[in-house]
Amino acid sequence: MSTVVRPLLGVVDEQCREIVALAREFAEKEIAPHAAEWDATKTCPREVMRRLGELGFMGLKISEEYEGLGLDTLTYLMVLEEVAAADASVSIMLSVHNSLPVSMLEAHGTPEQKERWLKPMARGEVLTAFALSEADAGSDASAIRAQAVRDGDGWVVNGEKAWVTNGDIADLVVMMVRTDSPEDRRGAKGISTFLVPAGTPGLKPGKVEDKMGLRASRTTSLHLSDVRLGPEHLLGQEGQGFIYALSALENGRLGVAAQAIGIARAALEHSIRYAQERRQFERPLADFQAIQFKLADMATRITAARGLAHEAARAQDLGERVTERASMAKLFASETAMWVTTQAVQVFGGYGYMRDYPVERLFRDAKVTEIYEGTSEIQRIVVARGLYSD
């Protein structure tokens, strides 16, 4: 495939090139051939995550001290793009595992918590989920109602969480619940983070959601009925959980940007091949200027989205605050994915509307990138606020 479509590897160091090349090879051989089947059956074998763990990709952002790769953000995004180009469902499972849970554990976990969880997470033996949203608390995440009540030196938790990626297959759920009281609400400062292992009595997954896209990725609700958690389950300080999550959102949003870029790239690659093979009026579609212009615009937008994401990644690796840049990257990349996949369906014509062809799945997968990890509307609010700050 043309180097115009894929990221330039000559501008990164040798380690990054080797890791991205390994990710591309694994994605093309072990993931892409099964993507349509996994989408149809709404399953992704756990073996895939185990194999990703063996290659080190379940510990992309985990420090070497805890058996992870400790990668810079740029390399992390390039790996996610390769996986997403093969199957967006696998990429979001990988991204969720490597983003907020890892960031929050590394920054705020006790030595015992880090030792207990980060090493098996890096090896792919423990798959994580992140539970913040609720049925009535999506964009306004600080409005969550799941409640933890003090009981001795621990807590008893009741409530429900919604739209949890990996919800019914995760071994550990990093969960946000209220620790203030209904009589004394403290807003964002009344929310704490708990590490809740799967199988904890009272924790039960709900039904697997029947989604438009990312169908191989498991998304469920979580029901909490008198879930008892000891002090060892509290991550960091009580009442600081939402603040921890906000500080880690940059990684999540950049991860979704990389996912969106991978989806868009796959759609463009399929469109190029199809335009060269499909003939109309005794000529390949690729000979028609109308198709050429579509493909050129698709490639240009993908490259621009990648540039935004990679600029934010490089800045983060230098220790800079990239809240607005991460939102810009997520906003532009997700809307690019939706636009590019729409154009891809158009290039394929009637075949693009059929499930026998991959662009139909990519079109469905693209939509959610404009919604989760903060909707496009929320990203615009974040960017606009940044314009007014000093």
Q: Per residue of the chain (390 residues), what is the pLDDT tens digit?
A: 666 788 877 667 888 899 999 999 999 999 999 999 999 999 999 899 999 999 999 999 999 999 999 999 999 999 999 999 999 999 999 999 998 899 999 999 999 999 999 999 999 999 999 999 999 988 888 889 999 999 999 999 999 999 999 999 999 999 999 999 888 888 888 999 999 999 999 999 999 999 999 999 999 999 999 999 999 999 999 999 999 988 888 899 999 999 999 999 999 999 999 999 999 999 999 999 999 999 999 999 999 999 999 999 999 999 999 999 999 999 999 999 999 999 999 999 999 999 999 999 999 999 999 999 999 999 999 999 999 976
Residues paired with 148 in a beta bridge: 157
Torsion (CA) 58, 61, 63, 66 in degrees, nearest 10: -20
In residues, how long is the chain?
390
Q: Which of 250, 324, 370, 373 is catalytic?
A: 373
Cβ(311)–Cβ(325) below 8 Å: yes
The contacts of residue 59 (CB under 8 Å, 6+ apart) are: 53, 66, 67, 68, 69, 98, 118, 121, 122, 123, 124
* CA atoms within 13 Å, Cβ hemisphere of 30: 18
CA 69 to chain centre: 18
**Is 373 annotated as catalytic?**
yes
Token pair belonging to 258: 């990389």
